[in-house]
Amino acid sequence: LGSKINHALRNMGTASVVDEQALDACLKEIATALIQADVNIKMVKQLRDNVKRQVQIEDLAAGLNKKRVIEKAVFSELCSMLDPSTEPYELKKGKSNVVMFVGLQGNGKTTTCTKYAYANKRKGYRPAMICADTFRAGAFDQLKQNCTKAGIPFYGSYTETDPAAIAQAGVDRFRQEKYDLIIVDTSGRHKQEDALFEEMREIEEAVQPDCIVFVIDGSVGQAAYDQALAFKKTVPVGAVIVTKLDGHAKGGGALSAVAATDSPIIYIGTGEHIDQFEHFEAKSFVSRLLGLGDWHGFMDKITDVIPEDQQPDLIEKLQGGTFTMRILYEQYANIMKMGPMSQVMSMIPGLGGDIIPKGADEASHERMKHFMTVMDSMTDAELDATDMKIFQEESRLRRIAMGSGRPAREVGSLMQEFKKMSMMWGKMKGLKGFSGKGGMSA
């Protein structure tokens, strides 16, 4: 997915004129990639419309970072899709919080109940678990085993067949014993759907939970929306937990679950083990969804490096066509601030391997560092010179080399690099919508 999105953006980056059509084409590719990652088709369409509304063509044409403008818009749009209008239920101290878990069989409810209990036990709560799954053979044994390992009291029955009755009895018992977090695990058989939903309703009525958590397997694809909606229509779901995000899950279904239940994701499951459980963080989830190792971090770095208020200034300088050593120096400094190139590039999907050969980035990083050292021993007049002529004086180059302690041939290489870059900027003079990628080729 990531590489596809990047491909779309890269095409955008090379389009010399950024117009509505180019933006549409780019968004179309991104949309296709998101659908392949199991994001609901309707939501993708909505995302497309919203991004289009957010991104102004004129901004794209004038700015250095049209790619980033789109990236940011897509990113923030996905984040806001994960942000429902409702707040998650907060456990309250000094009362018996009853939390009921629902979801289809195999999605990870029982495992997640245990993880949830354990996580809150570590926060100082006294959890207890109830097995209200009488459908699956061995369900009670599984819960018992989990609880024993985690040191959590449990309740269930081998003989009672009415899950609502078990749930009620368990909650009553644990309330009396003053447990402050009572967790009700339910069944989620696939077949006999009507019966399942009726059962959920009965348990809900019997125990009157403070919160109902809907558990969904992260690899459920386009079916996620309907599945989540079916549960929401039956019982008042208030939170979502997405499981199995450690595997090959594409994760797009999570967005559907949020939309269908209008409930926030509170945790994610990242493995079978009890502590493979994390608080949900929209930004890193979206990064993951987009296949960018760390898109969020990358964005932060980008905005760090070129403060917005400095961008017009830089654009003006570039459009004026007056390229100087100082601009080159600033460019290098910006790149250095971002860390080694491979690290920066690896945050962009698809760029990691194919653009910069292994090792080459370190070499180029070193090279930039040396060039900067050379430039450090230049005078202001040299740094701001708009004419290469002054660098044709042999003695001047010698002085710069001596002053910086770098070999003369390196000073020569810098001059060549400068010439190359300044020709590039020259070509951009008056050109609107140029790509801001130049300057990275040390």
Which spans of this chain sit near ligand GDP (rule: CB under 6 A)?
103, 105-111, 188, 243-244, 246-247, 269-272
131 neighbors 123 (Cβ within 8 angstroms): no
As to burial, measured by CB atoms within 10 angstroms (0-12 exposed, 13-18 middle, 19+ buried), residue 399 is middle
| Region from 32-40, 104-112, 281-289, 345-353 binding Mg ion, contact rule CB under 5 A | 104-112
**Count of residues touching Mg ion (by CB under 5 A):** 2
- Token pair, residue 118, equals 């354990």
How many whole angstroms separate alpha carbon 81 and alpha carbon 217? 19
Helix or strand (DSSP H, E) at 201: helix 193-207
The answer to whether residues 122 and 204 touch, using CB atoms and an 8 Å cutoff, is: no
Say how far apart CA 220 and CA 242 lie, in whole Å: 10
Residue from 40, 107, 110, 270 binding Mg ion (CB under 5 A): 110
The span of 106-114, 117-125, 361-369, 398-406 binding Mg ion (CB under 5 A) equals 106-114
Question: From CA 269, how far away is CA 275, in angstroms rounded?
Answer: 9
* Closer residue to ligand GDP, CB minimum distance, 138 or 312: 138
Closer CB to Mg ion, 29 or 185, in the complex? 185
Rg for the chain (alpha carbons), in Å?
29
Is 13 or 103 the residue whose CB approaches Mg ion more closely? 103
270 binds Mg ion (CB under 5 A): no
Helix axes 41-54, 253-261, angle to 10 degrees: 90
Q: How far is the CB of 288 from ligand GDP (least distance, A)?
A: 14
Residue 130 dihedral angles phi and psi, to the nearest 5°: -125, 135
Considering the complex, state which of residue 197 and residue 305 has its C-beta at the smaller distance from Mg ion: 197
The two structure tokens encoding residue 138:
């061995």
Binds 187: which of Mg ion, ligand GDP, none (CB < 5-8 Å by kind): none
Q: How far is the CB of 204 from ligand GDP (least distance, A)?
A: 17
**Binding of Mg ion at residue 134 (CB under 5 A)?**
no
User: Least distance in Å: CB of 115 to Mg ion?
Assistant: 13
Q: How far is the CB of 171 from Mg ion (least distance, A)?
A: 18
State the maximum Cα–Cα separation within the chain, in Å, rounded to a whole number: 98
Cβ 104 to Mg ion shortest distance, Å: 10
Interface with Mg ion (CB under 5 A): 109-110
